[in-house]
Amino acid sequence: MSRLKDKLESGKFAVTCEVAPPKGTDLTHIKESIEILKPFVDAINVTDFQSAVVRASSLVVCRLLIDNGIEPVFQITGRDRNRIAIQGELLSAGICGIENVFAITGDHTSKGDHPQAKNVFDLDSINILRVCEKISAGTDMNGNKLDGNPVFYAGAAVTPSFSPIEIQIIKMRKKIKAGAKFFQTQAVYDIETARRFRELTKDFDCKILIGIVPLKSPKMAQFLNNNIPGIEVPDEIIERMEKAGKDNFRSEGIKIAGEFIKKLKEENLCDGVHIMPVGAEKSVPEIIRIAGIYD
């Protein structure tokens, strides 16, 4: 059984993190991240051509995590593959021993480093979830029997700060119906947003991990507000970062993240957190320490 599933289903507070495969073949950063994160997280998401940028595949890094004793969450997008390739990737994930899958529709290729690439979008995240259900039941998407099959613990994304939030709630219901058992959210910085989201989803049959992106500077916070739909960094947090001074930007961002996680846990506003350190995996142990999750 997936250790992530076991922890979430038993009601324990889970911590997941996120790493990006290398743009090249140098695995130095990934291997360093593994050593840093292993004692502190329950599973690690491996992004799948995030932001439509060419990198090594999620699948190969997921296998590397398994070989090093860390449970992966295999992210798979619908942008780059048709339904045949998606099903093949999922079967390959099963062969590799991967149990957790995170379904994403994917950003348009115009946002990436190969804007001339063709988008596929044969299946969106909801249909990928349905495929995971089919494969877990022993057939392909068209009902053809499989000669052996994995059983996946499937997850999907949601954005608590999206306006109007009702659209996200409708999508969540569809994803749950399609087979989503857990959600990892877009970054949240406002406790009131987390409280409202918990109230709206308290009766949903799923587990929710609130997204955490540690701030590195006030400029980063302003960039998120201006360029990433569904992320809202409150003015008071930006002001706090500014008052800390340039030499303390990163440490203050770590404190903000840790204190926010602690508050989420104390108020039982989620089932866990998903930390997206954006290349700064070294900050995760200190965030976890401040949050009081582990000694």
The model's pTM: 0.96
How confident is the model at residue 295, as a pLDDT? 46
Alpha-carbon distance of 205 to 54, in angstroms, equals: 35
Which domains, from first to last, does the chain contain? 3-291 (3.20.20.220)
> Looking at the predicted structure, is the pLDDT value of residue 37 above 80?
yes
pLDDT tens figures, 174-208: 999 999 999 999 999 999 999 999 999 999 999 99
Average pLDDT over residues 143-153: 98
- 264 sits in which H/E element: helix 249-266
For 92-132, the pLDDT digits (tens) are 999 999 999 999 999 899 989 999 999 999 999 999 999 99
Percent of the chain with pLDDT strictly greater than 90: 94
DSSP 8-state secondary structure symbol assigned to residue 161:
T
At 229-246, the pLDDT tens digits run: 889 999 999 999 999 999
**What are the E-state strand segments in the chain?**
14-19, 43-46, 72-77, 100-104, 153-158, 182-187, 207-212, 272-275
Quote the pLDDT of residue 230.
87
Question: Which residues have CB under 8 Å from 184's CB, separation 6+?
Answer: 16, 45, 102, 155, 157, 209, 211, 274
Task: Give residue 2's pLDDT band: very low, low, confident or very high (50, 70, 90).
Answer: confident
Contact by Cβ (8 Å): 65, 96:
no
pLDDT in tens, 254-280: 999 999 999 999 999 999 999 999 888
Residue 151 pLDDT more than 70? yes
